Amino acid sequence: MTSSPPPHEPDEVARLTARAAELLEAVWGQTPTAPVSPSQLPVLFVLEHNEGINLRTLADTLGSTPPSASRLCDRLQAVGFLERAPSPNSRREVHLYLTKPGRAFLAEVRARRERELTALFARMPAHKRSVLLEGLEAFCWTAAARIHEDQSSDSRSA
Amino acid sequence: MTSSPPPHEPDEVARLTARAAELLEAVWGQTPTAPVSPSQLPVLFVLEHNEGINLRTLADTLGSTPPSASRLCDRLQAVGFLERAPSPNSRREVHLYLTKPGRAFLAEVRARRERELTALFARMPAHKRSVLLEGLEAFCWTAAARIHEDQSSDSRSA
DNA sequence: TATTGTTATACTCTATAACTATA
DNA sequence: TATAGTTATAGAGTATAACAATA
């Protein structure tokens, strides 16, 4: 005589995910990332998975504009985390690369963030960690697919 | 003769959570929040759960400084989303409040973000949604507890 | 004297517009 | 002429320092 289990509709999970994201931002907001500003950090993330991208594509991916992206690259180049290389095909295009120190810095930031989370998850029951892991794996897979689709449609419509 | 199930240590879940957060930021990064800037949005989030907070506490909670917080409040007040009210107890303190339009705007932003996520979760198997929901509930509970502890220790050490 | 909030200053971030070089 | 990238300009975000008012 028990009622059927709750349905867990997409919008229910969406609401909780949004709340989780807000909480996570509150936890991470305190973590310093000097000498890289909050605006510069996404540049490193994008470059990591898009080796040799040009400036316009970077700006599009950031949801920003070429002048802004150019300035961000200026600063990152100044601290040695980014490299501008002339394109072999087109003399007006620039290819962007993370330098070795840039990658090392990125790994540092991730490690710092993950340490924060590890401390948090240590206080969660092992079973909850397991189900969260399974759910997040599916989320990452779906989100990555969606982002990839968006990029494809962007380049078609551009 | 099967091996034991994977342990799902805290650091394993932390790594995946960090990746999920990066993906989520990439998905949400494109969502516009005008007339409120990315820096101003956290002010609204903080005020929502801390009605009547003063300016210094707001700055601390944001991980920012009083002058920066003051300027953010200037803009939010200018668009009518925030109110400064003199404290009845202390004539140098200011109490900050969300206005009714401020709350309405916050609900709008959340709805927009949740719509993005709902579309994404609709493409995930129902079972994955269920386990993600269970895992995120535990995460929100633990993260909220931690943030609350931090705030308590901050006010003790200040 | 210590605390709350603001203003002063200098630098970074952001977008639009104007410009240079290349295709 | 169209495109890639930069520079010019103006407004917003940030932090440190200096300041006014209050405790």
Contact: B17, A136; criterion CB under 8 Å: yes
Quick: pLDDT tens for B73-117: 999 999 999 999 999 999 999 999 999 999 999 999 999 999 999
**What tens digit of pLDDT does each residue of A5-32 get?**
566 789 999 999 999 999 999 888 878 8
Of residues B20 and A6, which shows the higher confidence score?
B20
Amino acid identity for residue A138 in this structure:
A
Strand D within 7 Å of which CB atoms in B 55-94? 63-65, 67-68, 71-72, 75, 90-92
- Cis? peptide before A88, omega within 30° of 0: no
> What is the mean pLDDT of the segment spanning A122-141?
97
Sign of CA dihedral B56, B59, B65, B70: negative
Q: Quote the pLDDT of residue A2.
A: 58
pLDDT greater than 50 at residue A158: no
The pLDDT value given to residue B155: 53
What is the CA B103 to C1' D20 distance in angstroms?
A: 33
Alpha-carbon dihedral of residues B117, B119, B122, B127, nearest 10 degrees?
-10
Strand D reaches within 7 A of the B127 CB: no
Percent residues over pLDDT 70 in chain B: 92
Q: Is the CB of B40 under 7 A from strand D?
A: yes
Structure tokens at A143: 């989100």
Tens digit of each residue's pLDDT (9 = 90 or more) over B113-135:
999 999 999 999 999 999 999 99
> Quick one: tokens of B35?
């007339």
Chain C nucleotides reached by a protein CB under 7 Å = 3-9, 12-18, 21-23
- The per-residue pLDDT of chain B, averaged, comes to 92
Tell me if A134 and B131 make a contact (CB, 8 A cut-off). yes
Q: What b-and-e string marks burial along A68-97, b requiring 16 or more CB atoms within 10 Å of the CB?
A: ebeebbebbeeeebbbeeeeeeeeeebbbe
CB contact under 8 A, A134 and B120: no
Q: Cβ neighbours of residue B52 under 8 Å, at least 6 residues apart?
A: B85, B95, B96, B97
Q: Are A20 and A13 in contact (CB under 8 A)?
A: no
pLDDT tens digits, A27-79: 888 788 999 999 999 999 999 999 999 999 999 999 999 999 999 999 999 99
User: Which A residues 32-91 touch B at CB under 8 Å?
Assistant: 42, 45, 62-63
Confidence label for A147 from pLDDT (cuts 50, 70 and 90)? confident
